[in-house]
């Protein structure tokens, strides 16, 4: 008998330490392995309890499934609630409850299979009892929820209970609640109900005293040495977590709908952009700037061009897309306007300018703007005809100005002598009329005599007539 007790104690210590160790790994591996361990312990507890393994000591019966595995589960849910909160605890409770509900179903299916095939009954798989298993699953869920509520209630400031007493009271309360609920659900109305209740309450007290040091040492170690915070939460935090999950689901649904609307708006915007890009009469191109080791722009790559690009430049899209400017036009030694484009791409400042492209022998009006992350775009159009027309107009104006410079006009009031008919210039000098007119116009004089002057000067010629 003493050997059985020693073995039972060793098994319990191993199970307790295994659960606490798995929980301590959460900072490195997450809680996944911990949840898996809880599920395995739940399965072991169910099979061993159904098998009826017990140990007697001083008139007290210790059920191996409860002493070792159920208490280990309680410790696991205890620490995950204290350090990881209601959400993680809810997952642990679902894992334990799910395995507890699944195992009797599996056992029932296996026994039914044996009965149908006519083979021998499975001696090592107990036949599940609907009442007992239902009571077990329901009690487990209630126990774990009660654990969280009791811990928070005993931690309220008005009670002023220390961590040690708070821990032991919560652990013992869960143990005794389990006895009350399970014994009532599984055995109420049977002859042995009262004796089962009394014996189990005493054994659970001993189990609580035995497991308490392991739990308290772990709580203090995590809190003081590892820096894990023991938070004080509302008493119903474990239940409110369900409402929080529903709220989060509603928020997630709204967020999904918002994102769908945003994606639709983005698709509409992209469709409008694509329409402008494809049907614009001006050339549009998207580039990525290339810099040297010192960050100086030295070239750029064509990423995308619109259909009008070919009309404006004479270069086909397949000639330029994915290539550097110096590769797309082999005659180039340097990429055209690379300094201007580099400044736009690297500083984000847009620019508009007119330049002549020698390789293409065309004049362009160009607007360049940054797209972020070293990319930029240009919108441009060929203005060669306009430049040629401007140049021709300038030439015509120059010729007209030259012609006008050679034309001399006389205008305004001229001071002329009433007697000798000389004209005074702006400097005050007097000139003969023909001399003044010749100097201030393109007119030339030929000399002759009018009839009156001829008769006056040569009267003899007129007298003969």
Residue 101 maps to a domain: yes
pLDDT reported for residue 301: 92
Same domain? 354 vs 434: no
Q: Quick one: average pLDDT of 11-25?
A: 91
Helix (H, G, I), strand (E, B) or coil at 307: coil
pLDDT reported for residue 169: 92
Residue 266 maps to a domain: no
Residue 275 maps to a domain: no
* Phi, psi torsion values for 379, nearest 5 degrees: -120, 120
Average pLDDT taken over every residue of the chain: 82
pLDDT reported for residue 247: 61
Residue 258 maps to a domain: no
Q: Quick one: average pLDDT of 131-150?
A: 83
pLDDT reported for residue 17: 93
pLDDT reported for residue 52: 65
* Residue whose pair of structure tokens reads 């497991």 in the numeric block: 211
Please report, for the domain that includes residue 342, its CATH number: 3.30.450.20
- Dihedral over alpha carbons 177, 182, 187, 189 (to 10 degrees): 50
Helix and strand totals (H; E) in the chain: 17, 9
Last residue of a domain, one of 179, 214, 235: 235
Least trusted range by pLDDT, from 91-105, 176-190, 403-417: 403-417
Same domain? 133 vs 206: yes
Q: Quick one: average pLDDT of 432-443?
A: 76
Same domain? 210 vs 301: no
Same domain? 178 vs 317: no
Last residue of a domain, one of 341, 367, 386: 386
Q: Which helix (H) or strand (E) holds 381?
A: strand 375-382
Query: pLDDT-based confidence at 410, cuts 50/70/90?
Result: low
Quote the percentage of the chain above a pLDDT of 70. Answer: 89
What contacts 60, CB < 8 A, 6 or more positions away? 199, 202, 203, 206
Same domain? 179 vs 290: no
Q: pLDDT by residue (tens digit) across 329-380?
A: 877 777 888 889 989 988 889 999 988 888 778 888 899 999 888 899 999 8
Q: Which residue has the higher pLDDT, 181 or 333?
A: 181
Would residue 131 be called left, alpha or beta, if left means φ above 0 and alpha means ψ between -120 and 50 degrees?
alpha
Residue 268 maps to a domain: no
Same domain? 39 vs 181: yes
Last residue of a domain, one of 235, 262, 296: 235
- Does the structure show a pLDDT above 70 at 90? yes
Q: Which domain holds residue 309?
A: 280-386
pLDDT reported for residue 198: 75
Strand 283-291 to 375-382 pairing:
antiparallel
pLDDT reported for residue 362: 87
- Does the structure show a pLDDT above 60 at 249? yes
Distance, in Å, from the CA atom of 368 to the CA atom of 350, rounded to the nearest integer, reads 6
Neighbour count for residue 48 (Cβ, 10 Å) = 18
Q: pLDDT by residue (tens digit) across 208-231?
A: 999 999 999 999 998 887 777 787
pLDDT reported for residue 212: 93
Q: Are 338 and 291 in contact (CB under 8 A)?
A: no
pLDDT reported for residue 350: 92
Residue 402 maps to a domain: no
Residue 241 maps to a domain: no
Same domain? 308 vs 437: no
Measuring CA to CA, how many Å separate 437 from each of 403, 404, 443, 450, 453?
20, 18, 7, 20, 22
Total domains, the chain: 3
The tokens of 44 are what?
């072991």
Please report, for the domain that includes residue 222, its CATH number: 1.10.1760
Distance, in Å, from the CA atom of 57 to the CA atom of 12, rounded to the nearest integer, reads 15
pLDDT reported for residue 54: 73
pLDDT reported for residue 151: 87
- Does the structure show a pLDDT above 70 at 205? yes
Same domain? 218 vs 294: no
The tokens of 279 are what?
């049907």
Q: pLDDT by residue (tens digit) across 48-86?
A: 776 667 777 777 777 777 778 888 988 998 998 888 888
Same domain? 217 vs 285: no
Distance, in Å, from the CA atom of 429 to the CA atom of 238, rounded to the nearest integer, reads 119
pLDDT reported for residue 20: 93
Same domain? 202 vs 335: no
Burial (CB count within 10 angstroms: exposed 0-12, middle 13-18, buried 19+), residue 298: middle
Same domain? 312 vs 206: no
Q: Quick one: average pLDDT of 226-242?
A: 72
Residue 391 maps to a domain: no
Same domain? 156 vs 285: no
**b/e for 413-437, b at 16 or more Cβ within 10 A?**
eeeeeeeeeebeeeeeeeeeeeebb
Handedness of CA 48, 51, 57, 59 (dihedral sign): positive
DSSP for 240-269 reads: HHHHHHHHHHHHHHHHHHHHHHHHHHHHHH
Quote the percentage of the chain above a pLDDT of 90. Answer: 14
């Amino acid at each position: 008998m003493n050997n059985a007790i020693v073995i039972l104690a060793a098994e319990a210590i191993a199970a307790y330490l295994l659960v606490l160790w798995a929980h301590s790994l959460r900072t490195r591996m997450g809680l996944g392995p911990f949840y898996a361990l809880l599920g395995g312990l739940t399965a072991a507890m169910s099979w061993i309890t159904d098998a009826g393994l017990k140990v007697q000591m001083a008139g007290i019966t210790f059920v191996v499934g409860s002493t070792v595995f159920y208490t280990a589960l309680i410790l696991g849910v205890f620490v995950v609630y204290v350090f990881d909160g209601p959400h993680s605890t809810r997952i642990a409770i679902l894992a334990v409850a799910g395995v507890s509900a699944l195992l009797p179903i599996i056992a029932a299916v296996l026994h039914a299979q044996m009965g149908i095939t006519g083979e021998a009954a499975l001696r090592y798989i107990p036949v599940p009892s609907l009442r007992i298993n239902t009571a077990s699953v329901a009690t487990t869920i209630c126990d774990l929820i009660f654990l969280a509520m009791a811990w928070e209630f005993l931690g309220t400031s008005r009670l002023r209970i220390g961590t040690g007493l708070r821990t032991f009271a919560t652990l013992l309360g869960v143990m005794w609640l389990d006895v009350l609920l399970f014994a009532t659900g599984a055995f109420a109305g049977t002859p042995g109900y009262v004796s089962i209740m009394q014996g189990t309450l005493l054994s659970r007290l001993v189990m609580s005293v035995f497991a308490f040091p392991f739990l308290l040492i772990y709580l203090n170690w995590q809190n003081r040495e590892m820096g894990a915070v023991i938070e004080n939460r509302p008493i119903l935090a474990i239940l409110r977590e369900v409402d929080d999950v529903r709220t989060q689901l509603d928020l997630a649904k709204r967020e999904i709908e918002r994102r769908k609307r945003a994606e639709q708006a983005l698709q509409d915007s992209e469709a409008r952009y694509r329409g402008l890009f494809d049907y614009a009469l001006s050339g549009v191109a998207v580039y990525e700037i290339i810099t040297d080791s010192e960050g100086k722009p030295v070239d750029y790559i064509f990423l995308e061009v619109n259909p009008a690009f070919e009309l404006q430049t004479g270069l086909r899209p397949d000639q330029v897309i994915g290539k550097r400017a110096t590769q797309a036009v082999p005659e180039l030694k340097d990429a055209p306007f690379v300094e201007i484009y580099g400044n736009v791409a690297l500083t984000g400042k847009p620019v508009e300018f007119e330049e002549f492209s020698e390789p293409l022998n065309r004049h362009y009006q160009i607007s360049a703007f940054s797209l972020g992350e070293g990319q930029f775009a240009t919108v441009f159009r060929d203005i060669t005809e306009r430049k040629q027309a401007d140049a021709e107009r300038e030439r015509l104006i120059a010729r007209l100005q030259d012609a006008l410079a050679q034309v001399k006009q006389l205008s305004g009031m001229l001071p002329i002598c009433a007697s000798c008919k000389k004209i005074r210039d702006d400097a005050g000098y007097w000139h003969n009329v023909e001399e003044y007119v010749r100097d201030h116009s393109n007119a030339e004089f030929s000399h002759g005599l009018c009839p009156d002057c001829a008769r006056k000067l040569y009267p003899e010629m007129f007298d003969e007539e």
